[in-house]
């Protein structure tokens, strides 16, 4: 019996590569009749370091909302229901905790995004998710 995929989680950071992950998720969602949730994690340090970073936080939120609208538009053009979620967390790899708690069937993530640390073959966030996740992960190159 094949596992049914009904809920797909796609971490997005606004990069061209993260949208490659979205495109693969759209393809899979069309095959399975699944919905997609786009997830962006904004690090807490941009929220909690005081007044100095308040404009940075607002700018981050503005950018996130902009690329989430674009993601929703692309999904809608392909007949896919798209939900967006923004989390304020210490670690972006908490994506796996969110995926498990909300009972997603699969995480689809690009191999590289906007992360400050670039690893040779696999981005640091994707690498952490692959190793920590209890649900299947598809890494898009």
Q: 7-140 domain in CATH 3.40.50.620?
A: yes
pTM metric for this prediction? 0.84
Burial of 61 (0-12, 13-18, 19+ CB in 10 A): middle
Q: Where are the domains of the chain?
A: 7-140
Distance, in Å, from the CA atom of 4 to the CA atom of 130, rounded to the nearest integer, reads 20
Distance CA 55, CA 45 (A): 13
The gap from C-alpha 24 to its chain's centroid, in whole angstroms, comes to 13
Per-residue pLDDT of the chain (141 residues; tens, 9 = 90+): 566 999 999 999 898 989 999 999 999 999 999 999 999 988 766 545 555 555 556 677 889 999 999 999 999 999 999 999 998 886 766 899 999 999 999 999 998 654 443 433 346 788 889 989 999 999 998
């Amino acid at each position: 019996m094949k596992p049914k995929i009904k809920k797909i989680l796609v971490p997005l950071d606004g990069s061209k590569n993260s949208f490659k992950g979205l495109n693969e998720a759209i393809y899979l969602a069309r095959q399975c009749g699944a919905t997609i949730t786009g997830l962006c994690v904004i690090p807490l340090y941009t929220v909690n370091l005081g007044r100095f970073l308040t404009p940075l936080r607002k700018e981050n939120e503005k950018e996130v909302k902009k690329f989430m609208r674009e993601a929703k538009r692309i999904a809608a053009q392909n007949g896919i229901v798209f939900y967006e979620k923004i989390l304020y967390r210490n670690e972006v790899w908490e994506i796996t905790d969110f995926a498990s708690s909300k009972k997603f069937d699969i995480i689809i993530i690009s191999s590289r995004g906007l992360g400050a640390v670039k690893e040779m073959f696999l981005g640091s966030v994707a690498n952490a998710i692959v190793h920590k996740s209890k649900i299947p992960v598809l890494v898009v190159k």
